[in-house]
Structure 1
């Protein structure tokens, strides 16, 4: 049984956890979210790298972690090389699912891919390279926002999503030129999948969760099954940590409890 760490600035990593846990239920899961510096999309690159290295080198050693999943597109694009130099275990990052979106559109004879991500991910050269490599023949439109990150966090804290506000954010895609497939380029955004589908009906939503689950399966040398969780594996409980035990974090712990995690604890370096 491996100790698997899911890391994010907030709760977006739950969308990745669900896919990985569905495929690999018989493992011990840890979730660490850096709410003291949330959201990472608004943090400078140097500070972001320094912060993630500081947190994860200590956490991995303290909890004997076997594999780390950086469940944050922003952190993945900045931190992975430095983190892999520091840690001697596998580190898996997330990237926008441009390739699966292009494959889906080609299979359906469609052409328009939308990328919904944070401003940092939208503007990164790495994202442009993904488009050039996998979707150069497609129409690509991008929308960068951090507002949906906060919406997803508030939703998991029990607040109602403001659909009218979400509609305003998505205005560029609500006319006659809406995308055929929409890449959810932030791990928070799949947590709003129902609301996004309500605002953009008939648009196919694509995220990186299943691809990450396949990658983790291969690194653990285990088959990717995505089988239904058995009664035995349901008894395994994960552990969740935040970097600042605020009232909001305590409220969010209820969402973690629904996913099988134990009560939230504060992690200090």
Structure 2
């Protein structure tokens, strides 16, 4: 029996994590869940987000019965990971900005952190920098606009000029950064554009590390070589996520696509 992994985000950003998991572990059954009814997360209060994330994820786990849950959103991970691990009987993997990875390669130089304003300003992020990048100079840039541009990009819109203009001033006005951490899972979707425009910068994200962690938690049997099914769920019943559907269909046929009914759970 194939293992099933549920990958959760508010929008299309978690597809960057799904892509890495699919590449490393093509045998897994992958189910992508978008809370598009509450998108975007980065501008909402933490207490509201905590209840929302727990309700959505518990509803999905109850219906889809996955073996593992990935919270493929930095904001959601920093807010809800402890609560989800306490309430769910399956492993829950979160994402954090790949500050340690960038700092280990930067050798005391200048690195950038490109994330949502919520992630940029969290104490959790301060602690990551203190623990893993104290020898580097870390330049932060918080952007909610880049999240929306990534969503537009996934819909097939031309956002190249807007992306370049949006972060170009920050890059140009900052001491030369050898690495920039993409601290929102939406941002790696723009990596081809970023690499083309700024080829000397190493654009770093946590997707590969998350895929390796899944491999540790869900070892594959030798005879399990057939590609796993793909599924798609979303919370805005009247808003079919066409960008996610198109992205997934490039990896294979989508076995199931349907809206998710979110239940209210009581928890402390």
Answer yes or no: same fold by TM over 0.5.
Answer: yes
Residue in 1 aligned with 2:66?
Answer: 65
C-alpha distance in 2, partners of 1:65/1:170?
41
TM-score, normalising length: structure 1: 0.90
What are the ranges of 5 or more consecutive residues in structure 2 without an aligned counterpart? 263-268
Q: Give the structure 1 partner of residue 28 of structure 2.
A: 27
User: Equivalents in 1 of 2:52, 2:142: separation in Å?
Assistant: 23
Q: 1:155 aligns with which of 117, 140, 153?
A: 153
1:118-147 Cα shifts (integer Å, max 9, x gaps): 001000011111111111010110000011
Q: What is the DSSP-based 3-state SS (H/G/I as helix, E as strand, rest coil) of the residue aligned with 1:170? A: helix
Deviation at 1:246, TM superposition (A): 4.5
Maintained 8 Å contact 1:32/1:242? yes
How far the C-alpha of 1:104 sits from its partner, in A, is 1.2
Whether the 8 Å contact between 1:117 and 1:143 is mirrored in structure 2 is yes
Distance 1:252 1:65, change over 3 A: closer
Paired residue secondary structure (1:30): strand
Distance 1:145 1:2, change over 3 A: same
Measure the CA separation in 2 of the matches of 1:251 and 1:221: 31
CA contact (8 A) 1:118 1:146 kept: yes
Counterparts in 2 of 1:248-267, with a 5 A limit?
Answer: 249-260=241-252, 262=254, 264-267=257-260
Mean CA deviation greater in 193-202 or 133-142? 193-202
- State how 1:39-188 maps to structure 2 within 5 Å: 39-106=40-107, 111-175=109-173, 177-188=175-186
Residues 45-66 of structure 1 deviation map (CA, whole Å, 9 limit, x = unaligned):
0111101111111211211111
Shift of residue 206, structure 1, vs aligned partner = 0.5
Match of 1:268 in 2: 261
The 1:114–1:102 alpha-carbon spacing in structure 2 relative to 1, beyond 3 Å, is same
The offset of 1:169, in angstroms, is 3.0
- From the two aligned structures, give the one with the greater helix fraction: 1
Query: Does structure 2 conserve the Cα–Cα contact (< 8 Å) formed by 1:163 and 1:195?
Result: no
* Contact 2:81/2:92, CA 8 A, preserved across alignment: yes
Taking only aligned residues, the RMSD between alpha carbons, in angstroms, comes to 2.0
User: Is 2:232 aligned against 1:240?
Assistant: yes
Q: Is the 8 A contact 1:45 1:78 kept in 2?
A: yes
Residues 217 and 157 of structure 1: CA distance in aligned 2, closer, same or farther (over 3 Å)? same
1:248 is displaced (CA, Å) by 6.2
